[in-house]
Amino acid sequence: MPARVLIALGQRMYREGVREALTARLGITVVGEAGDGRGVLSMARELRPDVVVLQARMPEMNGAEVTRQLAAECPGLPVVAISTSSDYTLVMRMLKAGARAYVLVSGGIDELERALHAIDQGKVYISPAIESTMVESLGVAALSADDKLTRREIEVLQLLAEGKSTKRIAEILSVSTKTVETHRLHIMAKLQLYSVAELTKYAIRQGITTDHE
């Protein structure tokens, strides 16, 4: 079992519950807690945990993008994705990004413990409840956001869907407002969606952001 874990979950109560379960029941040290995607990266660089337990849908930077960047900056650092959703698109986004495990909140601490044991043995763990959904979806040939948009466009899409203004997005990404507007136009053209409401619905379906987690 890993000894040092970094928790990256959007809601404070959610984080506190997972922390308590890890420390009290499994005897694992929680070395840090992050509430948004961008905070995870800086904490992982500084704290060097054994494992990151990451919410698949995070504010400001989604779980798949965080996982990709962790793989690049902290090679070998396992990521356990945790979510309420068994949606095939979201599961595959996380696994393709490099997550070593995907567990459902409904599985409780028992499932998280099984996932941690599996990755400690060099294995990949996927919640048994997801397997049937994945099999049913294998024949679906629709392109995902990753096939249509660049990584920066996905970042901009997430922030737009979260209600951020053009100015705020420019500040978060350290680019000009003109650059953000250009990305937004490209996103709309590629997806053939021409309102923020439509973009938000698309982002939720793709697992890029959420309106409930």
What's 148-209 look like in SS3? HCCHHHHHHHHHHHCCCCHHHHHHHHCCCHHHHHHHHHHHHHHHCCCCHHHHHHHHHHCCCC
Question: How many domains, the chain?
Answer: 2
- Domain co-membership, 128 together with 197: no
Counting residues of the chain whose pLDDT is more than 90, the rounded percentage is 35
Please give the pLDDT value at position 205: 80
pTM for this model (two decimals): 0.68
Whether the pLDDT of residue 137 is over 60: the answer is no
- Those residues whose C-beta lies under 8 Å from the C-beta of residue 135, and which sit 6 or more positions away, are none
- Among 137, 159, 193, the domain boundary falls at 137
Please give the pLDDT value at position 147: 74
Residue 68's domain comprises 4-137
Please give the pLDDT value at position 144: 66
Q: What average pLDDT is seen over the chain?
A: 85
- Domain co-membership, 185 together with 80: no
Residue that wins the pLDDT comparison between 157 and 14: 157
Whether the pLDDT of residue 212 is over 50: the answer is no
Q: Where is 29: in which H helix or E strand?
A: strand 29-34
Please give the pLDDT value at position 59: 82
* Cα angle for residues 70, 73, 78 (degrees, 5° grid): 40
CATH number, domain with residue 169: 1.10.10.10
- Domain co-membership, 169 together with 129: no
- Furthest-apart CA pair in the chain: how many Å? 51
Whether the pLDDT of residue 109 is over 70: the answer is yes
Distance CA 210, CA 203 (A): 8
Whether the pLDDT of residue 211 is over 60: the answer is no
How many CA atoms lie within 13 Å of 77's alpha carbon, on the beta-carbon side? 27
Please give the pLDDT value at position 92: 83
Query: Is residue 211 a part of any domain in this protein?
Result: no
Note the pLDDT tens digit of each residue in 43-86. 999 999 999 999 988 888 888 899 999 999 898 899 999 998 88
